[in-house]
Structure 1
Amino acid sequence: MPEHPLHVATWLAEVFGGPSDYTEHHGGYAHMLSKHLGMAITEVQRFRWVGLIAQSADEAGLPGDPEFRSAFMAYVEWGTRLAMGNSQPEVSPPRRAPVPRWGWGEAPPCAG
């Protein structure tokens, strides 16, 4: 999927307060959820993806200060754990929800 990195970047931009491009162009939460349903993501796969996102953040020149990285990686941890849970075959996650808006220190409530 050559377009996947762009979709991830667009999703993350919206989550962190940028424009609602993921919602407007891809369908928001419902679309993102549909891409993970039934994939049965494992903890090993989730952990690897977290590492790749951290490496990509470095390569993209995102700020490296502890405050920024703490908030950024907290979202990545939170989001990947939800995605992993929602990807399991026996799970029926909510089909409609807004794209989460991540703050710079607090986590939104987990609905899953």
Structure 2
Amino acid sequence: MKNDKKIPTPYAYAGGVEKFERLTEVFYEKVLKDELLEPLFRNMAAEHAKHVAHFMVKVLMGPPFYSEEFGEDSLKRMVCKHIGKYIREEQRKRWVDLLLQSADETGIPDDPEFRSTFVAHLEWGSRVALINSQLASNPTTGEEQIPQWGWGEVKGPYEIVGSLFQKKHKEE
């Protein structure tokens, strides 16, 4: 028996762009009250939360709002936000913990399948950000793109930017 149900992207399953924008609003309110994270974010731009929401949307296979706004250099721009910040592991972990608390508060799905995908992306992405934060210059090139994260994806081992970000060239 054939199953004709279309499997939604993680983005669609989570509830769309408004859900991610609300998630990051709630999250960054927590961040600015957190003694461990506030120093990293105290000077963030007013639109930072929305940009992070749109980056997550793109990564979780939703509309490309982030890359449409920032163009071909959108990945370079995101990586640049971390360069020279010298994020510590305890800050990275707190970032993930507060984001997951915010996900619970804003009704991001909590079923095992979605949370597995969502947490895997957050853990992987935050570790890449930590690595990039130790650098003095941006390692991205024109050969990389924002990765997309679907259901049950495996994206390791991670690198500074690395081959996982490499643009996929169509076979001739």
Query: Displacement of 1:55 after TM fit?
Result: 1.4
Find the counterpart in structure 2 of residue 78 from structure 1.
124
Query: Displacement of 1:5 after TM fit?
Result: 1.5
Query: Displacement of 1:100 after TM fit?
Result: 0.8
Runs of 4+ in 1 over 6 A off after TM superposition: none
Q: Is the 8 A contact 1:37 1:89 kept in 2?
A: yes
How far apart, CA to CA, are the structure 2 residues paired with 1:21 and 1:45?
Answer: 27
What is the correspondence of 1:23-102 to structure 2 with a 5 Å cutoff? 23-27=67-71, 28-89=74-135, 93-96=139-142, 97-102=144-149
Query: Displacement of 1:94 after TM fit?
Result: 2.7
Q: What TM-score do the two structures reach when normalised by structure 1?
A: 0.89
Selected match of 2:150 from 80, 86, 103: 103
Query: Displacement of 1:90 after TM fit?
Result: 5.6
Three-state SS of the structure 2 residue aligned to 1:36 is coil
* RMSD (Å) for aligned C-alpha atoms: 1.7
Q: Classify 1:92/1:35 alpha carbon distance in 2 versus 1 (closer, same or farther; 3 Å).
A: closer
Q: What TM-score do the two structures reach when normalised by structure 2?
A: 0.60
Gaps of 5+ in 2: 1-43, 161-172
Aligned sequence identity (%): 48
Q: Classify 1:84/1:91 alpha carbon distance in 2 versus 1 (closer, same or farther; 3 Å).
A: farther
Q: Is the 8 A contact 2:76 2:138 kept in 1?
A: no
Q: What count of residue pairs does the alignment treat as equivalent?
A: 112
Find the counterpart in structure 2 of residue 10 from structure 1.
54
Gaps of 5+ in 1: none
How far apart, CA to CA, are the structure 2 residues paired with 1:34 and 1:90?
Answer: 10
Query: Displacement of 1:91 after TM fit?
Result: 6.9
Q: Is the 8 A contact 1:14 1:21 kept in 2?
A: yes
Query: Displacement of 1:60 after TM fit?
Result: 2.2
